Amino acid sequence: MDPRLLDHLAADAWPPLESRALDGWRLRAASGVTKRANSVLTSGPVVDPERAIDAAEAFAREHRIPPLLQLGPATLPADLADRLSARGYAPHDRTLVLTGTVREALAALSGGRTEIDAHPSDDWMRLWWSVDGRGGDAEVEVARRILAGCDSSYALLRDEDGPAACGRLAFATALDGEEWCGLFGVATRPDARRRGHASAVLRSLLDQARGRGIERLWIQVLESNSGARRLYAALGCERSSWYEYWRRP
């Protein structure tokens, strides 16, 4: 699996509010809301690496966000990690990129009653933000704009206490025209966990992909999240790539 393909699918599925090309790098900003939308995608060549790092830092200052670079197996130049380390940067949040098929994942999932929409409802946003978000109302609105930047389906499951689990399935197209779907924003209210709610949300989302004739699936999961990794392994998803964010302490 070409890691550049996965890098660019994920970038398209979680677009920044502002983007600037720097040779083969992509500088991204979105008021500091989420790492992906406020980092430099480095899976492409640059003419002068040191000047490129300088330009990335200047872009961050311009947008009042901390300098942050996303590195993975497709990163160029190959010694970028060493160059960043020399400037005081260090890696954080190592994340695995898993791939699988919609068909195999659906076969492993149980169903449940969920609400499906093409846009995140207020209840969806509140639940997701309460689990994964950082910030207040202004940051929530920025996040909503990020989500709106890619064709997606949103699933919400309710229990007797209200919104209990949610998830987002983004639809993206590879350069060769193949359609993919990627899971994002899968969250469960803490007191509602271990009840099969996440499985029901995933099934309802992947049903949307099957209805569109999409077969290829990717999922991003923190390497430290052993529970989520077990769930996705049970869906037949296998490790295909990884990335981590480099920043100064």
Q: Which CATH number covers residue 119?
A: 3.40.630.30
Domain boundary among 65, 96, 127: 96
Q: Residue 198 has what pLDDT?
A: 93
Q: Residue 133 has what pLDDT?
A: 87
Is 222 inside a domain boundary?
A: yes
* Per-residue pLDDT tens over the stretch 78-127: 999 999 999 999 999 999 999 999 999 999 998 889 999 999 999 999 99
pLDDT in tens, the chain (249 residues): 899 999 999 999 999 999 999 999 999 999 999 999 999 999 999 999 999 999 999 999 999 999 999 999 999 999 999 999 999 999 999 999 999 999 999 999 988 899 999 999 999 999 999 999 889 999 999 999 999 999 999 999 999 999 999 999 999 999 899 999 999 999 999 999 989 999 999 999 999 999 999 999 999 999 999 989 999 999 999 999 999 999 998
Instruction: Specify the 3-state DSSP secondary structure of 70.
Output: strand
Residues 88 and 132 in one domain: no
Q: Which of 106, 16, 111 is nearest to 60 (CA)?
A: 16
* Per-residue pLDDT tens over the stretch 20-29: 999 999 999 9
Where does the chain show beta strands of DSSP type E? Answer: 18-22, 25-29, 40-41, 69-71, 90-101, 115-117, 152-159, 162-173, 179-188, 216-222, 238-247
Report the length, in residues, of the chain.
Answer: 249
Residues 112 and 64 in one domain: no
pTM assigned to the model: 0.94
Q: Domain range spanning residue 70?
A: 3-96
Q: Residue 69 has what pLDDT?
A: 99
Evaluate whether 43 touches 7 at the Cβ level (below 8 Å): yes
Cβ burial of 220 (10 Å; 0-12, 13-18, 19+) is buried
Q: Residue 215 has what pLDDT?
A: 98
Residues 126 and 237 in one domain: yes
Domain boundary among 42, 72, 96: 96
Residues 89 and 174 in one domain: no
Q: Residue 1 has what pLDDT?
A: 85
Is 247 inside a domain boundary?
A: no
Q: Residue 112 has what pLDDT?
A: 83
Question: Total structural domains in the chain?
Answer: 2
Is 249 inside a domain boundary?
A: no
What is the spatial distance between Cα 149 and Cα 142, in angstroms, rounded to a whole number?
Answer: 11
Residues 71 and 104 in one domain: no
SS3 letters across 108-144: CCCCCCCEEECCCCHHHHHHHHHHHCCCCHHHHHHHH
Is 246 inside a domain boundary?
A: no
Q: Which of 162, 172, 228, 221 is nearest to 199 (CA)?
A: 228
Q: Residue 221 has what pLDDT?
A: 97
Domain boundary among 96, 128, 149: 96
Residues 45 and 73 in one domain: yes
Residues 145 and 133 in one domain: yes
Residues 55 and 131 in one domain: no
What is the spatial distance between Cα 41 and Cα 44, in angstroms, rounded to a whole number?
Answer: 8
Is 109 inside a domain boundary?
A: yes
Q: Residue 203: CB partners within 8 Å, gap ≥ 6?
A: 106, 109, 110, 111, 112
